[in-house]
Chains A and B, each alone.
Chain A
């Protein structure tokens, strides 16, 4: 496979995943902000900006941080490289260039998702935004579904690898912004623990029912952290992402008979996670641990690009 095609596929995987994450983030934030007063609402949207790392970009835009402005910035903002529109634009651009490596189904799903946002200038009110996001999620699910039906070839591996790396990054950032909500008893920094906030968090990673299946008893903040970091049966957990990265890279190695630094890095990361538990992580500081995870994930991304000659 052409190195450029591999890079195109990898970035399609990353940007479709990012678009999906942004969609769920917007959806959950609309629900959360509808529960509180005006101040709490603005707080919820500010926090959403932080999760996708675009608070600085938003400030540069000079717009007032009203719920509507942030909603538009996150969904359609052209100055926000992580907005759903920008993610889909990049994904579609890559998909056009790698058209031959995609199935018609996968291409159509990306193309349709892009058609939904391309000429839209406003997300509309809260209800209209929810409808927009729902429509986009349906197309992105269609894309994910098409990956499952793709030939198990290099093409599908690179798409998956991109989405797995992106997923780890998104979950880690989400946890990091909300980490003060997740501390064990006696360590609360944010005052009273807020059931709504936990629920929102679980909803962003579509893990509300998963939590109920895995843990019995009332919602415990540190168990939410455990679920999203260590439970590999939970697809958006960091453990699942680390595990899948190893599996996908081994699939390549099996085909070419060669391994590289990315393989080793991914295996070491997984091995270290398997030796850890949430209690140990809290002792060293969840925030510090998540920051290290994001850095390591970025290093793995670089190693993948180098190993497969992306540029």
Chain B
């Protein structure tokens, strides 16, 4: 369906197999590389990933408890101009997101000014009531944002989702690049690709910069739910590459509103926690009382200003799909500028008019649970069965406030190597935006996720998606050429 008329990242909108300007060498590489060699490299990539233990646990699938995410060796390319536009838009959006979170847990100006309805914030399950009134060290809330972008045409990029809680996937950006350098070195001779390997160092600097004041060299740790978590590989990968301790809740104790980790030499005070567990498990005294993943007293230490939590608790409010629909207003309100990156048109089913529009057009729409993620609780109208559509209709009527709906976009495609040879497959793109005490940085790269099933628009790794390397080209490579 959508694949036939979607914009292709390599071929553009043309059906003529004429590569976009600057991308011709990739087209030539695809033509020149014998299928058997392509196949060999694809398998070498898989073997390398498995032996390194780059696996992804899928919930509810005991058999495949440790699956590797399929990796496709055909890269997705961005011109320097495309990247410049995207990064300016990302910076603007993340700046607004941080200002928004600071505001809703502080002065609440945006609500007082009526720019967005107060109940959508204050009555939101993602609004962290215990966090209201606290300001994190240096005023940064969403230090790490993974903004999901999709593309529908040469100059048509859209923000699909703002992941501002604990976005994952950055290790795949780094490992995919490693794999590409090893398996397809000739591509890096052909293209001037901007490196991504500074990400762990930039992340380390970001963590250091937000440490609460003091003269000590800050101690940063990465807090993981443990090695049964689906993203554990990434947790250990990042801790390892930053040279910081990978801790579990049971390794930390709170005493005198300060956080300590248990080491072989006794307790050591911790200043910054890059936590990869959800808010609700952070502190059993405040949130989910049965959680054993968190640390009792952690929120009190945070409120006392003795530890920085990255991201800060409560950032989920800006990650909510109902809030998402107001993001253009939010960007305008805090930056005074028009959003450089548009939202996908979104119907809030809580509004009766929107609901009837969605119910009428459900076959053409994507319907999402407001607080769902990872592709769970989602209906893609054009590919759904009659039964699934009926179930969603009932759910929509029963709990309209729990859903939003968007038109089904013809996501751009990238040639992908499959059992059926080279075929176009839909992709999205998640760059990672770092905000420290002094600056915002974006590594030139990101995670390109690809829906491996024909026609599928769902790219989530938990739903059978794969990944590709994303090449951001140096400016001179495409100088003077049209997009």
Asked if A104 and B52 sit within 8 Å, CB to CB, the answer is yes
With beta carbons under 8 angstroms apart, the residue of A111, A154, A308 that contacts B51 is: A111
Asked if B239 and A2 sit within 8 Å, CB to CB, the answer is no
With beta carbons under 8 angstroms apart, the residue of B227, B233, B236, B247 that contacts A2 is: B247
Asked if B51 and A108 sit within 8 Å, CB to CB, the answer is yes
Asked if B227 and A3 sit within 8 Å, CB to CB, the answer is no
Residue B246 interfacial (CB < 8 Å): yes
1-38 of chain A: CB within 8 A of chain B: 1-6
With beta carbons under 8 angstroms apart, the residue of A3, A93, A104 that contacts B263 is: A3
A97 to B261, CA, bound (A): 16
Residue A99 interfacial (CB < 8 Å): yes
> Which residues in A have their C-beta under 8 angstroms from that of B240?
99-100
Asked if A96 and B53 sit within 8 Å, CB to CB, the answer is yes
CB distance from A44 to the nearest CB of B (A): 37
With beta carbons under 8 angstroms apart, the residue of A100, A258, A309 that contacts B239 is: A100
| Contact-size category for A | 20 to 34
A17 to B247, CA, bound (A): 26
CB distance from A105 to the nearest CB of B (A): 11
A3 to B153, CA, bound (A): 53
84-138 of chain A: CB within 8 A of chain B: 93, 96-97, 99-100, 104, 107-108, 111-112
A-B Cβ contacts below 8 A, count: 56
> Which residues in A have their C-beta under 8 angstroms from that of B266?
309
Interface size on B, residues (CB 8 A): 22
Residue B156 interfacial (CB < 8 Å): no
> Which residues in A have their C-beta under 8 angstroms from that of B232?
96
238-254 of chain B: CB within 8 A of chain A: 239-240, 245-248, 250-251
Residue A256 interfacial (CB < 8 Å): yes
A112 to B227, CA, bound (A): 18
> Which residues in A have their C-beta under 8 angstroms from that of B233?
99
> Which residues in A have their C-beta under 8 angstroms from that of B247?
2
Residue B262 interfacial (CB < 8 Å): yes
Once A96-B232, A97-B226, A100-B236 are accepted as A-B contacts, the answer to whether A2 and B51 lie under 8 Å apart by CB is no
> Which residues in B have their C-beta under 8 angstroms from that of A258?
265
Asked if B226 and A4 sit within 8 Å, CB to CB, the answer is no
Closest residue on chain A to residue B268 by CB atoms: A2
A111 to B247, CA, bound (A): 22
> Which residues in A have their C-beta under 8 angstroms from that of B262?
2-4, 309
CB distance from B234 to the nearest CB of A (A): 11
13 interchain pairs, CB-CB under 8 A: A1-B263, A2-B262, A3-B251, A3-B263, A3-B264, A4-B262, A5-B245, A93-B227, A99-B53, A99-B240, A100-B246, A107-B53, A256-B265
